[in-house]
């Protein structure tokens, strides 16, 4: 297990900056007993200017608010104050490339009744890419994503992650790197902690919203595709389509962008380094460190025309 904190680590707890080792939480909390809390996973990066920047702080703190409201957890913080608190935590812990974990949690309450207040903590630590940097062997999980009529599936609620843990542990126990979960209708949904895209005939596709966490990295991939003129579509995806794909990747704040080697033991047709996903991966790496993309090479225009002609 990673080292999340040591005796010097400072965390944010309800407006105060305190030593992680001294922080206390109520063991009678509704969050601990029922998995009733919401959280975020955010990253900061040392940019090319040398500053430390939180990537898409507003988007993450707005999602934290939306997650809390979706599950009726009282919420009284602004994006600005939480962003400022996060920068303070990064500075006090001398962190640059960090993973940041805000959690909104409930007081002592063994009933299912709503609370009058919530608490918040923000923690940060150094973390390598969540799924590593090697191409992944992915398997279809025997666990499906939760029914969106049983959960507020668009919320990043702690309880949902029991499903993620089961799926990921099953995949690892069977010798794979990660799981892919289908939705309750059998269509491809997402990984335990990341969204997915696949490439077919030079285009990228990703499962439509409804059964997935609408990822901020997924949204960033949309932006990158627009910038690089990569055709992209949202659709219902079957596992058979995925087996016939040219390449695939997971994306998420923690995982960043990571290619797949195989899906249910079927290797992908394209070498990852020649895939569209690889270009997206490079563009993502540049974006988070605020490196401006190079002006387009006139030769690229020519290649694009050829690809478009090939497609139709």
Which region, judged by CB under 6 A, interacts with ligand PMP, from 27-35, 70-78, 211-219, 276-284?
211-219
Select the span of 2-10, 70-78, 112-120, 190-198 touching ligand PMP (CB under 6 A). Answer: 190-198
> Rounded distance, CA 86 to CA 90, Å?
6
Nearest approach, Cβ of 296 to ligand PMP (angstroms)?
27
Nearest to 239 by CA among 262, 263, 203: 263
Binding mask 128-167 for ligand PMP (x = CB under 6 A): ------------------------------------x---
Catalytic residue check, 226: no
Among 13, 31, 41, 109, binds ligand PMP (CB under 6 A): 41
Which of residues 8 and 185 has its CB atom nearest to ligand PMP in the complex?
185
Q: What is the largest CA-CA distance in the chain?
A: 65
Q: Quick one: 190 or 199, whose CB is closer to ligand PMP?
A: 190
- Chain position carrying tokens 């949690």: 105
Closer by beta carbon to ligand PMP, 148 or else 202: 148
In the DSSP assignment, the letter for residue 160 is G
Q: Decide: is 217 part of the binding site for ligand PMP (CB under 6 A).
A: yes
193 is a contact residue toward ligand PMP (CB under 6 A) = yes
Which alpha helices (DSSP H) does 101-209 contain, by range? 161-173
Instruction: Name which of residues 221 to 250 contact ligand PMP (CB under 6 A).
Output: none
253 binds ligand PMP (CB under 6 A): yes
216 binds ligand PMP (CB under 6 A): yes
Residues 280, 227: contact at Cβ < 8 Å? no
Cβ neighbors of 56 (< 8 A, separation 6 or more) are 42, 216, 220
Of 212 and 276, CB closest to ligand PMP: 212
Q: Are 77 and 62 within 8 A, CB to CB?
A: no
Report the residue number, 164 or 275, with the smaller CB distance to ligand PMP.
164
In the three-class reduction of DSSP (H, G, I as helix; E, B as strand; rest coil), residue 45 is classed as strand
CB 197 within 8 A of CB 190: no
By CB under 6 A, residue 194 contacts ligand PMP: yes
Residues ≥6 apart with Cβ < 8 Å to 184: 144, 145, 147, 148, 211
CB of 254 to ligand PMP, least distance (A): 6
> Residue 85 interacts with ligand PMP (CB under 6 A)?
no
Report the distance separating Cα 59 and Cα 214, nearest Å: 11
When asked if residue 252 is in the footprint of ligand PMP (CB under 6 A), the reply is yes
Buried residues in 9-32 as b, exposed as e (16+ CB within 10 A): bbbbbeeeeeebeebeeeeebbbb
Nearer to ligand PMP, 67 or 118 (CB): 67
Of 53, 56, 156, 278, which residue is the catalytic one? 156
Residues identified as active-site: 156
The residues binding ligand PMP (CB under 6 A) are 41, 164, 190, 193-195, 213, 215-218, 252-253
């Amino acid at each position: 297990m990673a080292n999340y904190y040591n005796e010097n680590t400072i965390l944010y707890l309800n407006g105060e900056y305190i030593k992680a080792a001294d922080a206390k939480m109520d063991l009678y909390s509704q969050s601990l007993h029922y998995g009733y809390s919401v959280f975020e996973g955010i990253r900061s990066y040392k940019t090319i200017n040398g500053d430390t920047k939180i990537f898409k702080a507003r988007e993450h703190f707005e999602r934290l608010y939306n997650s809390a409201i979706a599950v009726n957890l009282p919420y009284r913080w602004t994006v600005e104050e939480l962003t400022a608190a996060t920068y303070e935590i990064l500075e006090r812990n001398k962190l640059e490339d960090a993973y940041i974990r805000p959690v909104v949690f409930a007081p002592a309450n063994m009933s299912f009744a709503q609370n009058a207040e919530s608490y918040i903590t923000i923690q940060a630590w150094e973390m390598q890419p969540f799924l590593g940097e090697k191409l992944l062997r992915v398997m279809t999980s025997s666990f499906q994503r939760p029914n969106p009529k049983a959960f507020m599936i668009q919320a990043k609620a702690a309880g949902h992650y029991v499903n993620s843990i089961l799926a990921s542990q099953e995949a690892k126990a069977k010798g794979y790197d990660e799981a892919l979960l289908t939705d309750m209708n059998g269509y491809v949904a997402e990984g335990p902690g990341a969204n997915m895209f696949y490439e077919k005939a030079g285009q990228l596709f990703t499962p439509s919203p409804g059964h997935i966490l609408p990822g901020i990295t997924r949204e960033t991939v949309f932006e990158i595709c627009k910038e690089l003129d990569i055709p992209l579509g949202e659709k219902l995806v079957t596992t058979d389509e995925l087996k016939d794909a040219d390449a695939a990747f997971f994306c998420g704040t923690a995982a960043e962008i990571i290619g797949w080697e195989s899906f249910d033991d079927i290797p992908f047709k394209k070498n990852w380094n020649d895939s569209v996903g690889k270009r997206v991966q490079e563009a993502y790496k540049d974006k988070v460190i605020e490196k401006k993309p190079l002006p387009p090479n006139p030769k690229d225009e020519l290649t694009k025309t050829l690809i478009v002609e090939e497609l139709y």
